[in-house]
Chain A
């Protein structure tokens, strides 16, 4: 039987392109000290460290986690790095959860950072993740991978460029309320639609920025949590599912899954919901933090999370269902579209969800939010994680 696990400390730096004033470990240290202060804990009270680090080529130092041992106070403690590409932060949070739920540890620090400002072209690096024989040679990258998702969704369900642009408008509006957000500038529907084409149907304002920044989350067992604070955020459910490697395998006539849909996220969410006792997510979830670095991805995600019927994500977006004043606010933080420190973007979703359910999200607070879901996605839309976080145990 798994033990109860709570989030007891959160530390985020601001997200921005360049952080030339600090090295990567110094950036990590910033988030760790903030999280410790938030939890009123000292580094000595941390029993184990999970390091959230996506491909190290993004920061240009191989096995960068080694350089960060001191910045996370790992000397004399177990330390592990987790990497599932974009889903890294979601997977790292789950690894942290397992540390405590398993009763092996009472406290764990989950932390990581991204520093994309040190290199000029993230997509050249992300092109290196592909099979060099088949995919790297045809210029695949994270943006056109998402374009393939978008065109399939458009083809299957009639989703439009306008509906995708509305996702971006919502995220940008929300980011104005988040002091940590990288892009804090409102955009109109016309702005998004008129922004230059990057990989059609995705335009510049359908795409995330290249962010640097760090995030740390401290988790604790129920016993330790009760001594620390009155109002923790409880991890009520987790789920993770992985899809097969080749994108072209997910374009069959006889569908078992489709690159246009996120059936794996649906499976991951189903598991998390079941653990958390959620049978009607659209009603029982108060707020969602979704990892969607491109506007089209959020549409697939809200469907997979059961917030609306499959294929209706665009229509629900149009009706304002996911706005701050809508039935189910999505990404009050501005989401990955407004800050994408890849290694920790999934962890930021967890942190933001925890802030929401404890009423600590300040200007971006969803009134009365008690239950939230946080997701992450990585690889070529392969690794999916979902976590349900609640004010109530």
Chain B
């Protein structure tokens, strides 16, 4: 019997599902403070005194509820970073930089985009964007209560 070349068929599909993720009482307050007052708050554990951001309603190390808000500084230090040069569906057009920054007064680092750097030459960009570099928080003038209401900018 002749071996006939058979066509392979694909059936298209797309997941397009809406959600409204409840931010919860704790993070709702955090996001509202960013939006309304341009303030970044951390949550302090009464037992180990760790200041956590993202804030959370319990300290997983001590396994106790946490409810003591503290205001964090609007500057901090880079703890990790990357410079993205590739296109990812659903992400911003490259290049862009993301950094984990430990804000003054916090014990944990918070990720966000880094603004105001020329990222075309990586060796030049990494002279300024590096672990230990100081950054300042820059809020958008119109804020909607999202983590993307602010970016980091390298100072000095």
* Chain A residues within 8 Å of B, Cβ to Cβ: 20-21, 57, 60, 118, 120-121, 123-124, 127, 131-135, 137-141, 143-144, 147-148, 151-152, 155, 196-202, 244-249, 251-254, 259
Q: Is A138 a contact partner of B148 (Cβ separation < 8 A)?
A: yes
Could you say which residues of chain A place their CB within 8 Å of the CB of B60?
A: 244-245
- Interface locus among B64-72, B109-117, B135-143: B109-117
Does chain A have a CB within 8 A of B89?
Answer: yes
Q: Is B81 a contact partner of A138 (Cβ separation < 8 A)?
A: no
Tell me the smallest distance from the CB of A183 to a CB of chain B, in Å. 18
Q: Is A134 a contact partner of B90 (Cβ separation < 8 A)?
A: no
Q: Is B110 a contact partner of A147 (Cβ separation < 8 A)?
A: no
Could you say which residues of chain A place their CB within 8 Å of the CB of B82?
A: 144, 147-148, 151, 199-202
Could you say which residues of chain B place their CB within 8 Å of the CB of A196?
A: 85-86
Does chain A have a CB within 8 A of B31?
Answer: yes
Nearest 7 interchain pairs by C-beta:
A147-B82, A248-B109, A251-B79, A148-B80, A139-B91, A197-B85, A121-B89
Q: Is B21 a contact partner of A133 (Cβ separation < 8 A)?
A: yes
Could you say which residues of chain B place their CB within 8 Å of the CB of A202?
A: 82
Does chain A have a CB within 8 A of B84?
Answer: yes
Q: How many residues of B contact A (CB 8 A)?
A: 46
Q: Is B81 a contact partner of A148 (Cβ separation < 8 A)?
A: yes
Q: Is A248 a contact partner of B108 (Cβ separation < 8 A)?
A: yes
Does chain A have a CB within 8 A of B44?
Answer: no
Q: Is B89 a contact partner of A151 (Cβ separation < 8 A)?
A: no
Could you say which residues of chain A place their CB within 8 Å of the CB of B62?
A: none
Q: Is A247 a contact partner of B90 (Cβ separation < 8 A)?
A: no
Task: Report the separation of the CA atoms of residues A38 and B85 in the bound assembly, to the nearest whole angstrom.
Answer: 45
Q: Is A252 a contact partner of B122 (Cβ separation < 8 A)?
A: no
Q: Is B111 a contact partner of A135 (Cβ separation < 8 A)?
A: yes
Task: Report the separation of the CA atoms of residues A244 and B113 in the bound assembly, to the nearest whole angstrom.
Answer: 23
Q: Is A155 a contact partner of B85 (Cβ separation < 8 A)?
A: no
Task: Report the separation of the CA atoms of residues A118 and B23 in the bound assembly, to the nearest whole angstrom.
Answer: 33
Task: Report the separation of the CA atoms of residues A121 and B102 in the bound assembly, to the nearest whole angstrom.
Answer: 31
Which residue from chain A places its CB closest to the CB of B107 in the assembled complex?
A252
Does chain A have a CB within 8 A of B8?
Answer: yes
Q: Is A251 a contact partner of B146 (Cβ separation < 8 A)?
A: no
Could you say which residues of chain A place their CB within 8 Å of the CB of B54?
A: 131, 133-134, 246, 248
Could you say which residues of chain B place their CB within 8 Å of the CB of A259?
A: 80
Could you say which residues of chain B place their CB within 8 Å of the CB of A20?
A: 8, 10
Tell me the smallest distance from the CB of B109 to a CB of chain A, in Å. 4
Q: Is A141 a contact partner of B81 (Cβ separation < 8 A)?
A: no
Which residue from chain A places its CB closest to the CB of B8 in the assembled complex?
A20
Could you say which residues of chain B place their CB within 8 Å of the CB of A147?
A: 81-82
Q: Is A138 a contact partner of B98 (Cβ separation < 8 A)?
A: yes
Could you say which residues of chain B place their CB within 8 Å of the CB of A127?
A: 88, 90-91
Task: Report the separation of the CA atoms of residues A245 and B109 in the bound assembly, to the nearest whole angstrom.
Answer: 13
Tell me the smallest distance from the CB of A57 to a CB of chain B, in Å. 7
Cβ < 8 Å to A, chain B residues 93-134:
96, 98, 100, 102, 107-113, 122, 126, 130-132
Q: Is B15 a contact partner of A198 (Cβ separation < 8 A)?
A: no
Q: Is A197 a contact partner of B86 (Cβ separation < 8 A)?
A: yes
Q: List 17 A-B contacts (CB under 8 A).
A: A121-B90, A123-B91, A124-B89, A135-B111, A137-B147, A138-B112, A138-B147, A139-B84, A147-B82, A148-B82, A148-B100, A197-B86, A199-B82, A200-B84, A246-B54, A249-B109, A251-B102
Which residue from chain B places its CB closest to the CB of A140 in the assembled complex?
B111
Task: Report the separation of the CA atoms of residues A137 and B98 in the bound assembly, to the nearest whole angstrom.
Answer: 11
Does chain A have a CB within 8 A of B41?
Answer: no
Does chain A have a CB within 8 A of B52?
Answer: yes
Tell me the smallest distance from the CB of A164 to a CB of chain B, in Å. 14
Q: Is A57 a contact partner of B15 (Cβ separation < 8 A)?
A: yes
Which residue from chain B places its CB closest to the CB of A146 in the assembled complex?
B82
